[in-house]
Amino acid sequence: MIEHLVPMTGDRPYPPRTTDFTRTFWEGLADQRFLTTACTDCGKKTFPPKPICPACLSAKVEWVKLAGEGHIYSFTIIHAAPSIFAKETPYAVGIVDTVEGLRLGARLLISPDRLRISMPVSVARMDYDDGPYFGFVETKGDGADD
Amino acid sequence: MNEVTLLAASAVPVGKIQSRPEAPTQIVEHELLSDVVSQALGQANVDKAQVGAMIFSEPHIYTRQKYFATFMAGYMGMKCTGGVMEILGNGMTGGLVFDRAADEIRLGRTEVALALGVNLETAVPATEHMNYTMRATGDVDFQSPAGFTPISWYAMDAVRYMHETGATREQISSVALKNRKHAMLNPLAQFRKPMTMEDILAAKPIVHPLSLLDVPPRSDGAVCLVLASRRVAEQSGRPFLVLRGRGSYHEGVHQIADAPADMISFNAAQRAGLAVYKDAGLTPDQIDIAEVYAPCTIVEILVAEALGLLEKGKGAEQTERGDTTLGGRIPINTSGGCQSRGHPARLTPLYNALELYQQLTSQAGDRQVNGARVGLMCCELGNYNAALSHILEAA
């Protein structure tokens, strides 16, 4: 269950496409579930979800829930953005390593002065006017050192 | 397999060349490039009829003339037995152009091949250009919507490198300072005025921790290299380089692996490096100079470490103390690099080859590295997810 719902202003600057296959992911996100695929032959989970397994190229995959928890491997703050993102600058993006052993790139909805490597983060749903996207917020009750 | 030489290299100075759409007099791609080709063939002392292949970098979408390679074959009246084509491979484009032109000679399809192109983009504002380039450096559905820009990945390399090694921002930015010193001595460089560390630190933030002077400028350019068989090169009576080795590797990753991994070891550059050294029968300590594709300051440090030219984790410190400066242990990017020579992205590796040509044939003027005989170049795409490296030696 995605607990963090973050209101955003306006429409998504660069909305993702939905396919017959990825509809499960985007509908899951709308329903506060953070999903991906796992190979039923070799067991490998992957993100983004894919209709084939990048480890063994099997086409037998199943949808699985992710905990939506991880930590920051690295981050940056973007001051000079593509014009379609200009209204959101400055904004933070980062690389998140999840508890399932996946690595993904995402928006970090965290104040720049708090950002640090290894910070525990939790998935959030970014609620734009035209639909959702995903990002990460600082995990509540984080007791890690600054 | 036939031996390959680099016999000539000609280019216009890197800078802002592209006309604004409303300008009454326009600068056009084919006039700009055909002039450079004419100069390069004169320098090579080969006849136009000897050219049997032309490998172009694909011009940006802003370039009006399409099917540019075959158009140019017509514009210049070139009859070719080998390939006439355009190549696109992100930042690696120019390297792939060089590689493919070399293959034409290696395979015996021709004895003279041109590796060439134009890059025109500076009349398009950076914020508009990024709407397009962000699609090349991320998954357009699962990453780009978060707002990643091409250089944001390098910025994350910098944050991670500082975390792991304790390197300072100033040490990383010493790359830009060093490259400016080099560019001041290079007539083809875009930025040649003196610059200080204070200037770098005070410049506009772009992607934390990098400022405007840590990242590449917008640049246009036009370049033509003449590659030839050893027979033609020797007949020309002109100085030339021999292609000693080649190595490449794609790590099967687009920007970031889908599982935790060491992002800043640049393992594709390590693997390409091992391959090129093996192919050349050389070791890193036998390299006299290197021209590496490094859009941001941090990238030069990381690729130099991956290629064994700087010590792992100490590259920033070693750059700051002058190891890679002209006169230092291993001069890197004597052209001025992407930050100051400039970064016409689809041609940068060809401009890097041109710098090796000028240095290793002792035509580098005030920035000449005395006695330099062996040079390495390396280019990449993504966040160094793939690397392509060549070693050239003075004949």
Residue B260 near chain A (CB below 8 Å) = yes
The beta-carbon neighbor of B258 closest among A54, A75, A90 is A54
Q: How many CA atoms lie within 13 A of B264 on its CB side?
A: 25
| Cα–Cα distance for residue pair A13/A107, rounded to 1 Å | 13
* Interchain CB distance below 8 Å, B260 and A91: no
Cβ atoms of residues B353 and B340 within 8 Å: no
Query: Considering the domain boundaries, does residue A40 fall inside one?
Result: yes
Nearest residue of chain B to residue A11 (CA atoms): B145
Q: For residue B380, what is the DSSP state? A: E
List of chain A residues whose C-beta atoms are within 8 Å of the C-beta of residue B259:
101-103
Instruction: Kindly report the nearest CA distance between residue B137 and chain A, in angstroms.
Output: 12
Kindly report the CA angle at B150 between B271 and A77, in degrees rounded to 5? 115
List of chain A residues whose C-beta atoms are within 8 Å of the C-beta of residue B125:
83
Q: What does each of the 395 residues of chain B score in pLDDT, given as a tens digit?
A: 899 999 999 999 999 999 999 999 999 999 999 999 999 999 999 999 999 999 999 999 999 999 999 999 999 999 999 999 999 999 999 999 999 999 999 999 999 999 999 999 999 999 999 999 999 999 999 999 999 999 999 999 999 999 999 999 999 999 999 999 999 999 999 999 999 999 999 999 999 999 999 999 999 999 999 999 999 999 999 999 999 999 999 999 999 999 999 999 999 999 999 999 999 999 999 999 999 999 999 999 999 999 999 999 999 999 999 999 999 999 999 999 999 999 999 999 999 999 999 999 999 999 999 999 999 999 999 999 999 999 999 99
Bond before A48 cis per omega within 30 degrees: yes
Alpha carbon separation from B149 to B86, B138, B322 (Å, rounded): 26, 8, 31
pLDDT for A98 equals: 98
* Interchain CB distance below 8 Å, A107 and B140: no
The beta-carbon neighbor of B147 closest among A16, A48, A81 is A81
List of chain B residues whose C-beta atoms are within 8 Å of the C-beta of residue A74:
156-157, 159-160, 163, 263
* Interchain CB distance below 8 Å, B134 and A13: no
pLDDT in tens, B235-274: 999 999 999 999 999 999 999 999 999 999 999 999 999 9
Query: Considering the domain boundaries, does residue A20 fall inside one?
Result: yes
Domain count along chain A: 1
Reduce the DSSP state of residue B123 to 3 states and report it. Answer: coil
Residue A24 near chain B (CB below 8 Å) = no
pLDDT in tens, B29-80: 999 999 999 999 999 999 999 999 999 999 999 999 999 999 999 999 999 9
The beta-carbon neighbor of B159 closest among A76, A97, A107 is A76
Q: How many CA atoms lie within 13 A of B114 on its CB side?
A: 38
pLDDT in tens, A68-111: 999 999 999 999 999 999 999 999 999 999 999 999 999 999 99
Total length of chain B: 395
Residue in B281, B332, B259 with CA at minimum distance from that of residue B302: B332
Instruction: Kindly report the nearest CA distance between residue A77 and chain B, in angstroms.
Output: 5
Nearest residue of chain A to residue B255 (CA atoms): A105
* Interchain CB distance below 8 Å, B163 and A117: yes
Q: Establish whether this prediction's ipTM goes over 0.85.
A: yes
Query: Considering the domain boundaries, does residue A144 fall inside one?
Result: no
Cβ atoms of residues B188 and B14 within 8 Å: yes
Alpha carbon separation from B53 to B37, B57, B89 (Å, rounded): 13, 13, 19
Which residues 122-141 in chain B show a CB within 8 A of chain A?
125-128, 130-131, 134, 138-141
| Cα–Cα distance for residue pair B66/B168, rounded to 1 Å | 46
Cβ atoms of residues B186 and B192 within 8 Å: yes
pLDDT for A44 equals: 97
Nearest residue of chain A to residue B261 (CA atoms): A103
Residue A88 near chain B (CB below 8 Å) = yes
Which residues 179-238 in chain B show a CB within 8 A of chain A?
204-208
Residue A97 near chain B (CB below 8 Å) = yes
Which residues 297-326 in chain B show a CB within 8 A of chain A?
none
Given a cut of 60, is residue A144 above it in pLDDT?
A: no
Query: Considering the domain boundaries, does residue A143 fall inside one?
Result: no
* Interchain CB distance below 8 Å, A79 and B207: yes
Instruction: Kindly report the nearest CA distance between residue A81 and chain B, in angstroms.
Output: 6
B318 backbone dihedrals φ, ψ, rounded to 5°: -70, -35
* Interchain CB distance below 8 Å, B259 and A88: no
* Interchain CB distance below 8 Å, B147 and A105: no
Residue B274 near chain A (CB below 8 Å) = no
pLDDT for A104 equals: 97
| Cα–Cα distance for residue pair A102/B161, rounded to 1 Å | 21
Query: Considering the domain boundaries, does residue A24 fall inside one?
Result: yes
Residue A104 near chain B (CB below 8 Å) = yes
The beta-carbon neighbor of B260 closest among A15, A90, A101 is A101
Residue A57 domain boundaries: 4-138
Residue in B246, B267, B282, B287 with CA at minimum distance from that of residue B374: B287
Mutation for A interface: B137, B161, B204, B208, most A CBs within 10 A: B208
* Interchain CB distance below 8 Å, A82 and B134: yes
pLDDT for B111 equals: 98
* Interchain CB distance below 8 Å, A74 and B160: yes
CATH C-level class of B4-124+218-236: alpha beta
Residue A15 near chain B (CB below 8 Å) = yes
Task: Concatenate the DSSP letters of all residues of B258-281 into one string.
Answer: SS---GGG-HHHHHHHHHHHHHHT
Task: Concatenate the DSSP letters of all residues of B146-212 into one string.
Answer: GT--TTHHHHHHHHHHHHHH---HHHHHHHHHHHHHHHTT-TT-S--S---HHHHHHSPEEETTEET
| Cα–Cα distance for residue pair A58/B118, rounded to 1 Å | 43
List of chain A residues whose C-beta atoms are within 8 Å of the C-beta of residue B167:
none
The beta-carbon neighbor of A82 closest among B149, B159, B256 is B149
